[in-house]
Amino acid sequence: MLPKGAVLALCHLMCSWQYLETCDFFVDKRHFLEKRMLPKCVTQLAILLGLVCSVFLLSATKASAGVDYLSYSLNDMSILIINDTENRFAAKLFPTLDTYPDAKNYLVDGSFAGIVRTFVIKNGKRTILVDGGWGTESGKRGRTREILAQVGINANDITDILLTHLDIDHVSGLVENNAPVFANATLRLCRKEYDAWIVQGHVRNEASEKRAKTVVALYEKAGRLSLFNWGDEILPGITALDAAGHTPGHTAFTLTSKGASLVLLGDLLHAADLQLMHPNVNSVYDHDPARAAEARNRILSRCAQEKLAVAGAHILPIGIPSKMLKGGFVLQ
Ligand SMILES: [Zn+2]
């Protein structure tokens, strides 16, 4: 395995946003080559480097948070998967863990593998950010903005922000110095989440609620807040899915382009290995545990049945769930 610096150097050598697409197994290389009209020798070199690069990126996806971003192509949609912050989940965050003797198999030094991820979807003229990551004003160093800059996306290029929910690790990076970071973007949020956090309150601790209210208020004040309902096609090819339980308006998004789909799960899973194997296990972060477990089982079952790939805000693997006889899932 090459060190991180060498992998990144290889990526940067060939990876503008478009070049990064060639690093992915899912990309339609023919379309890329026609679009760019590159000389034959250059295209062959690009494909060769792309194949080499894809091996490293794919292994990195499985292995760790050791890369800054990955790409995923869904026909007309290009998706950038951003590793905002490294993160692990301590065993004590899962109160029913002792019920599952095999759980210790997934623990490394008392915690489960995890991450904080954001996503960028390029679809036609839209550049859509899904969740905002930690940012730099809430005690962590979220890297979403820095990584966007690496791939040539300016904050002002973002046309829309889709929020899975209002927890601090998903919204804090959306404002800085008391102003929206993404000044041209419309913030799109589930109406139930807005009602629970902004109108009623008492969903999380004071600090989290304060940050969520600041973020929503700043975009609302700029006339850039739009509320949606579950089932709505929020933007072309993007539908909101009821994933409530983690928070009252927690939402997953189904992305579809020309028959291919990817479901962004938000916080449906925190410790992927554990909760895929035992979907009834909740974390202490799940606001309504029974509902969270129901949503996890329902959405993973549907994705397994319809063979829809999934990616999450806190899990490293990306893949299509398959249901096992004992009731758990594996991602393939
Ligand atoms: Zn989260």
Contacts of 129 (CB under 8 A, 6+ apart): 118, 119, 120, 144, 158, 160, 161, 162, 182, 185
Span 258-291, pLDDT tens digits: 999 999 999 999 999 999 999 999 999 999 999 9
Radius of gyration of the chain (CA): 19
Same-domain status, 304 and 247:
yes
CA of 51 from ligand 1 middle (Å) equals: 33
Same-domain status, 181 and 257:
yes
Stronger pLDDT, 42 or 300, i.e. the higher one: 300
CA of 274 from ligand 1 middle (Å) equals: 17
Q: Is the pTM of this model over 0.85?
A: no
Q: Which residues pair with 241 in a beta bridge?
A: 252
Same-domain status, 44 and 192:
no
Same-domain status, 36 and 148:
no
Size of the chain in residues = 332
Give the least confident one: 99-103, 151-155, 294-298: 99-103
Give the least confident one: 11-25, 72-86, 316-330: 11-25
Same-domain status, 43 and 161:
no
Domain end residue (candidates: 63, 85, 114): 63
Same-domain status, 261 and 303:
yes
Same-domain status, 95 and 5:
no
Q: Which of 191, 186, 195 is nearest to 228 (CA)?
A: 191
CA of 78 from ligand 1 middle (Å) equals: 23
pLDDT at 290: 98
pLDDT at 57: 40
- Write the CATH number for 276: 3.60.15.10
Q: What is the dihedral of CA 264, 243, 86, 137, to 10 degrees?
A: 110
Span 63-91, pLDDT tens digits: 345 789 999 999 999 999 999 999 999 99
Q: What is the mean pLDDT of residues 187-204?
A: 96
pLDDT at 326: 84
User: How many percent of the chain have pLDDT more than 70?
Assistant: 80
Same-domain status, 73 and 33:
no
Same-domain status, 92 and 218:
yes
Distances (CA, A) of 184 to 112, 131, 213, 222, 316: 37, 15, 19, 10, 30
Which domain range does residue 257 map to?
64-331
Q: How many domains does the chain have?
A: 2
Strands 126-130 and 111-123: antiparallel
CA of 83 from ligand 1 middle (Å) equals: 13
